């Protein structure tokens, strides 16, 4: 009885703290605080890529600038109110950037775009990468940003960031030169190589555990044109796609060319068991027939829109990929690049899925996919040369694959079923890799599922203690640890 009464009392106290925070925000920011049943509330509450992440905050705060974020953070902290922060809302982890209890900071109005000295882009967290690429296209410039149009600037960079240019410039976060961040006590500070350098290091992959970022300053580079596009394959060509991918990642293969990047996918329809393949490929430069991609272009694809175009036009092609409004799930594991590792991933995915298809064949709208994301030795060398980051992977350990499983489906009633499937198939891939000597202990944060341990693998196990110490330095009262909704706490 005592525990029940205590639980009720604590729940009531939390409700009061949330209500107080919402009321005070409404008084100070009457035009930027929205309650349920208003059109602005609904627009922000539902502005997520995956339906799994659409929750119901008590109120939505849409700050206009860093000063407003500071004032808002002071209010929620003073009232001990839970809160969440959303940039682009692409991560499909429930509660990573949304909340059922508390205040949602919707960063959509902080959408700065400014080019400094023709080599640094200052970006607000409210931007999508397609918007950024379209803007930079007029200067023939690009940045190491997301590979899909709707991905937001903020979460991508705080999670490290896989781009089409990684073999040349490392993780997206390695290209940051400065970050403007609001700390738990409301201070607005800059973090860079000389000012708050420990915080700067932590933000490049440490997620939203240290403050609310209101501006990212990231290096640009010249990309007038790329050769690239999307290709589709039927079930008879999947083996050719897998073989071409294996050749690409092998020593001496296309991945040795820093200008080349690929995203191959094998998909299975649980309802029919039908298997298909697809490929997105990108080559920086004006070569209409790059040798690094020859093993792919020689396959007679069922359809292809590959060609020379601006990088912005290439990225526009991804606008149709990954339909908004469905339920999505990512889960990934690391697999070392050795002879046979690509076949191992594909065969394990296919065998596990077909062997367990009765568990998911009745799931409405379901498709399951596996995607190969090569992280090359040159990528890891570039990351290290750029000053490093918490991810801290050693190039001496060789190239690896961030082996990703993607699930989509329609109904919330099937969430547990699809989560169980994803857990099972990724565990099977990890087990097969370990048995083959291809184990690579790493989970990429931006493609991780709820409950996956991410930070324990950073720096070969050495980064987590440092990240926690930095968090204590900049947030001694544990505001972000206690009150912020997050997919991945330290």
Q: Does 483 map to a domain?
A: no
- CB distance 432 to 466 below 8 Å: no
Of 424, 323, 440, 427, the closest CA to residue 373 belongs to 440
- Chain position carrying tokens 């539902």: 46
The set of residues, in sequence order, having a beta carbon less than 8 Å from that of 258 and lying 6+ positions away, is 167, 168, 376, 378
Q: What's residue 10's pLDDT? A: 43
User: pTM of the prediction?
Assistant: 0.96
Which two structure tokens, joined as six digits, stand for 418?
């699809």
pLDDT tens readout for residues 414-464: 999 999 999 999 999 999 999 999 999 999 999 999 999 999 999 999 999
Of 276, 153, 159, 168, the closest CA to residue 221 belongs to 168
CATH of the domain at 210: 3.30.465.10
Q: Does 17 map to a domain?
A: yes
Sign of CA pseudo-dihedral 227, 229, 235, 238? positive
CATH of the domain at 30: 3.30.43.10
Q: Is the domain of 178 the same as that of 42?
A: no
Q: Does 39 map to a domain?
A: yes
Q: What's residue 323's pLDDT? A: 74
Q: Is the domain of 444 the same as that of 467?
A: no
Q: Is the domain of 80 the same as that of 10?
A: yes
Q: Does 484 map to a domain?
A: no
Question: Of 73, 108, 143, which residue constitutes the final position of a domain?
Answer: 108
Q: Is the domain of 402 the same as that of 425?
A: yes
Measured CA to CA, the distance from residue 334 to residue 457 in angstroms comes to 10
Q: Is the domain of 156 the same as that of 261?
A: no
Measured CA to CA, the distance from residue 97 to residue 193 in angstroms comes to 28
Q: What CA–CA distances, in Å, run from 353 to 36, 62, 272? A: 41, 42, 12
Measured CA to CA, the distance from residue 234 to residue 255 in angstroms comes to 24
Region class of 191: left (phi > 0), else alpha (psi between -120 and 50), else beta: beta
Q: Does 91 map to a domain?
A: yes
Q: Is the domain of 128 the same as that of 253?
A: no
Q: What's residue 149's pLDDT? A: 87
Q: What's residue 4's pLDDT? A: 59
The set of residues, in sequence order, having a beta carbon less than 8 Å from that of 59 and lying 6+ positions away, is 21, 22, 25, 26, 33, 34, 35, 36, 41, 103, 104
CATH of the domain at 276: 3.40.462.20
Q: Is the domain of 269 the same as that of 400?
A: yes
Q: What's residue 9's pLDDT? A: 42
The set of residues, in sequence order, having a beta carbon less than 8 Å from that of 166 and lying 6+ positions away, is 144, 172, 261, 375, 376, 379, 382
Measured CA to CA, the distance from residue 314 to residue 273 in angstroms comes to 31
Q: Does 487 map to a domain?
A: no
Q: What's residue 325's pLDDT? A: 81
Q: Does 409 map to a domain?
A: yes
| Number of domains, the chain | 3
Q: Is the domain of 195 the same as that of 237?
A: no
* Domain membership of residue 162 as a residue range: 113-222+462-474
The set of residues, in sequence order, having a beta carbon less than 8 Å from that of 120 and lying 6+ positions away, is 177, 217, 218, 219, 220
Q: Is the domain of 171 the same as that of 104?
A: no
Task: Read off φ and ψ for residue 125, nearest 5 degrees.
Answer: -65, -15
Q: Is the domain of 283 the same as that of 430?
A: yes
Measured CA to CA, the distance from residue 122 to residue 112 in angstroms comes to 7
Q: Is the domain of 253 the same as that of 392?
A: yes
- CB distance 318 to 149 below 8 Å: yes
Measured CA to CA, the distance from residue 11 to residue 5 in angstroms comes to 10
Mapping DSSP onto H, E and C, the string for the chain reads CHHHHHHHHHHHHHHHHHHHHHHHHHHHCCCCEECCCCHHHHHHHCCCCCHHHCCCCCEEECCCCHHHHHHHHHHHHHCCCCEEEECCCCCCCCCCCCCCCCEEEEHHHCCCEEEECCCEEEECCCCEHHHHHHHHHCCCEECCCCCCCCCEHHHHHHCCCCCCCHHHHCCHHHHEEEEEEECCCCCEEEECCCCCHHHHHHHCCCCCCCCEEEEEEEECEECCCEEEEEEEECHHHHHHHHHHHHHHHCCCCHHHCCCEEEEEEEEECCCCCCEEEEEEEEEECCCCCCHHHHHHHCCCCCEECCEEECHHHHHHHHHHCCCCCCEEEEEEEEEECCCCHHHHHHHHHHHHHHHCHHHCCCCCCCEEEEECCEECHHHHHHHHHCCCCCCCCCHHHCCEEEEEEEEEECCHHHHHHHHHHHHHHHHHHHHHHHHCCCECCCCCHHHCCCCCCCHHHHHHHCHHHHHHHHHHHHCCCCHHHHCECCCCCC
Q: At what angle do helices 415-435 and 341-355 cross, to 10 degrees?
A: 140
Question: Of 92, 108, 124, which residue constitutes the final position of a domain?
Answer: 108
Q: Does 53 map to a domain?
A: yes
Measured CA to CA, the distance from residue 239 to residue 167 in angstroms comes to 26
The set of residues, in sequence order, having a beta carbon less than 8 Å from that of 31 and lying 6+ positions away, is none
- CB distance 106 to 61 below 8 Å: yes
Which two structure tokens, joined as six digits, stand for 185?
């006590």
Q: What's residue 219's pLDDT? A: 98
Question: Of 87, 108, 129, which residue constitutes the final position of a domain?
Answer: 108
Q: Is the domain of 467 the same as that of 437?
A: no
Mark the ranges of the chain whose per-residue pLDDT is less than 50. 5-12
């Amino acid at each position: 009885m005592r525990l029940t009464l205590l639980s009720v009392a604590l729940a009531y106290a939390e409700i009061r703290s949330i209500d107080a925070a919402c009321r005070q925000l409404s008084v100070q920011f009457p035009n930027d605080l929205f309650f349920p049943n208003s059109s602005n509330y609904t627009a922000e509450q539902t502005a997520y890529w995956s339906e799994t992440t659409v929750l119901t905050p008590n109120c939505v705060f849409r700050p206009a600038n860093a000063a407003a974020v500071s004032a808002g953070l002071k209010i929620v902290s003073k009232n001990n109110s839970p809160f969440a922060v959303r940039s682009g809302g692409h991560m499909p982890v429930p509660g990573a950037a949304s909340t059922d209890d508390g205040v949602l900071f919707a960063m959509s109005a902080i959408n700065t775009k400014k080019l400094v000295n023709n080599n640094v882009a200052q970006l607000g967290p409210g931007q999508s990468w397609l918007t950024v690429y379209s803007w930079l296209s007029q200067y023939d410039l690009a940045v190491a940003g997301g590979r899909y149009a709707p991905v937001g600037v903020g979460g991508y960079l705080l999670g490290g960031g896989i781009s089409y240019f990684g073999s040349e410039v490392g993780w997206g976060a390695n290209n940051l030169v400065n970050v403007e961040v609001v700390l738990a006590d409301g201070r607005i500070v800059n973090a860079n190589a000389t000012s708050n350098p420990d915080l700067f290091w932590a933000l490049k992959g440490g997620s939203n555990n240290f403050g609310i970022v209101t501006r990212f300053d990231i290096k640009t580079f010249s990309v007038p044109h790329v050769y690239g596009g999307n290709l589709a394959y039927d079930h008879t060509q999947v083996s050719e796609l897998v073989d071409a991918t294996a050749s690409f990642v092998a020593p001496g293969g296309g991945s040795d060319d820093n200008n080349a990047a690929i995203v191959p996918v094998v998909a299975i329809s649980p309802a029919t068991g039908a298997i298909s393949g697809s490929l997105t490929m990108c080559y920086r430069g004006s070569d209409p027939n790059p040798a690094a991609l020859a093993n792919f272009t020689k396959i007679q694809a069922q359809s292809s829109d590959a060609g020379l175009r601006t990088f912005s036009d290439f990225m526009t092609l991804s606008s149709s990929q990954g339909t908004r409004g469905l339920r999505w799930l990512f889960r990934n594991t690391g697999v070392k690049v050795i002879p046979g590792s690509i076949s191992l991933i594909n065969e394990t995915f296919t065998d596990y899925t077909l062997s367990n298809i009765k568990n998911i064949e009745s799931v409405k709208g379901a498709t399951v996919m596996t995607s190969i994301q090569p992280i090359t030795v040159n990528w890891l060398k570039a990351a290290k040369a750029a000053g490093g980051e918490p991810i801290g992977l050693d190039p001496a350990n060789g190239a690896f694959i961030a082996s990703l499983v993607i699930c989509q489906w329609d109904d919330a009633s099937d969430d547990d079923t699809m989560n169980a499937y994803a857990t099972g198939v990724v565990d099977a891939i990890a087990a097969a890799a370990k048995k083959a000597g291809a184990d690579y202990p790493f989970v990429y944060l931006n493609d991780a599922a709820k409950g996956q341990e991410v930070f324990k693998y950073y720096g070969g196990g050495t980064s987590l203690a440092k990240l926690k110490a930095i968090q204590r330095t900049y947030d001694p009262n544990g505001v972000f640890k206690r009150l912020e909704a997050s997919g991945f706490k330290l």
